[in-house]
Amino acid sequence: MHRISDEQRRIRLGRRHLLAPSVRTASPVSVADALVALHATDAATVFLSACARMTEADVAPVEEALYGEVSLVRQLSMRNTLFVVSRDLAPCVDASNARTVAAKERRAFLKHLADDGNGLDECWLADAERQTLAALADRGTATGTELSAAVAALRTKITLFPGKRAETVQGVASRVIRILAAENRIRRDRPRGSWTSSQFRWTTSELWPFEEPAQAQAELARRWLRSYGPATEADLKWWTGWGVGQVRRALAAVGAEPVRLDGGATGWVLPEDMAPEPAPEPWAALLPALDPSAMGWADRGFHLPAGHREALFDRSGNIGPTVWWNGRIVGGWAQRADGEPVWRLLSDTGRDASAAIEAEASRFSQWVGQARITPRFRTPLERELTA
């Protein structure tokens, strides 16, 4: 069986994830496509991930792609997580993942309505959605609070888990809005604050063109292998949230070829993707919490030393801000209250790496300006560096 070494995987990561300076791009859409999808649970991560890979790091083109051209769109999709993908890829992600997530969200909410016992049902929900869409169409954009003020149904409260220790009373507005967004009938518009804010206004949207789910899964697997291969079945299963059967069918559909990885595991690549790639120039990067290059595989041993995990991950398995040198995670970084980026190396990297990391920190400071970034999921090292 053909073998692809860990060193070759790190070379591919530097090139295909646009991290070496010579392969950076001018377009945030090109960044999203190179990585397949950008994590968007934390609003700032989208901008930080894009600008780390752009020739001219700047907030403005990312905002234009998200809210002007709408060439980048947010979707609740893989692993029931919010991602940003290119508009061209969005119908594929919708068919392969997002539709299933949206249907699950709707079923769960309808069960909560039924358990509440006040006669709220599918008809009530459909009417609440119709009124919400009408109010949003009338206003153009609105916050969740503004929609609740305009639509009485959104001010309804229900009891969750009645009769159990977890019983609680909750308003329905956020759940109705979440379902409409998951189905792409509404979308997030500009945030109420700066680009680091996760409090968005909402605007109307349209359903994505229909794609057949199996074909969409094959296309998503093809793109993912191009960006993250070689990788194992377990890696693809973890990244997509699919079942084992879906993963294997998608790999078969794209003609994926098995290869031997360091350590003996079997990885998969596209049939035309066996050849080794030349190493790019030495490179350093400061990547944000939940960056795709750190979150792309279930097994990250080829770029993440096991001893670094305790400092760089929170208790739920979310990785924090990371420092990279030539395809390896070598430390973590944070931003202090005065805006200064500060980092700690967990690996011995040498003088050249230190100089390159200093240069990346300076580049970060220049484009971030007065913005202050605190990751939503805070890790031990990030907390320590900002203390």
CB within 8 A of 254, min separation 6: which ones?
218, 221, 222, 225, 270
Here the tokens at position 12 are: 């591919």
Give the strand pairing for 284-287 and 168-171.
unpaired
- What is the pTM (predicted TM-score) of this model? 0.94
pLDDT at 387 over 90: no
Residue 165's pLDDT band, with cuts at 50, 70 and 90, is confident
Burial 226-244, CB ≥16 within 10 A → b, else e: bbbbbbbbebbbbbbebee
Residue 166: its pLDDT value, please?
Answer: 87
* 8 Å CB contact between 187 and 73: yes
Q: Is 178 exposed, middle or buried (0-12, 13-18, 19+ CB in 10 A)?
A: middle
> Among candidates 227, 224, 268, which has minimal Cα distance to 242?
224
- pLDDT single digits (tens) 219-247: 999 999 999 999 999 999 999 999 999 99
Answer whether residue 167 shows pLDDT above 90: no
Write down the pLDDT at residue 253: 98
Sign of CA pseudo-dihedral 14, 38, 290, 106: negative
Length of the chain: 387
**What's the average model confidence in pLDDT over 174-202?**
95
Predicted confidence at residue 287, as pLDDT, reads 98
Residue 255 confidence (pLDDT) above 90: yes
CA dist 212 to 72, 94, 103, 328, 383, Å?
A: 22, 10, 16, 38, 45
pLDDT band at 319 (very low <50, low <70, confident <90, very high): very high
What is the token pair recorded at 103?
Answer: 């249907």
* pLDDT at site 1: 85
Average pLDDT over residues 85-108: 97
Q: Rounded to an integer, what distance in angstroms lies between the CA atom of residue 23 and that of residue 283?
A: 11
Q: Is the pLDDT of residue 9 over 90?
A: yes
> What pLDDT is stored for residue 365 in this prediction?
95
Residue with tokens 């990312």: 62
Q: Determine the pLDDT at residue 117.
A: 84
Is the pLDDT reported for residue 265 higher than 90? yes
Beta strand residue intervals within the chain, DSSP E: 3-4, 38-39, 72-76, 82-86, 157-160, 168-171, 186-191, 200-204, 257-261, 266-269, 284-287, 322-325, 328-335, 341-345
Q: What is the reported pLDDT for 128?
A: 97
pLDDT at 177 over 90: yes
Burial 350-364 (b: 16+ CB within 10 A, else e): eeebeebbeebbebb
Q: Write out the two tokens for 262.
A: 């360091």
3-class state of residue 4 by DSSP: strand
DSSP state of 285: E
Taking 90 as the threshold, does the pLDDT of residue 203 lie above it?
yes
Q: What is the mean pLDDT of residues 320-343?
A: 96
Q: Is the pLDDT of residue 118 over 90?
A: no
- Provide mean pLDDT across the span 184-207: 94
From the DSSP assignment, how many helices (H) and strands (E) are in the chain?
Answer: 16, 14
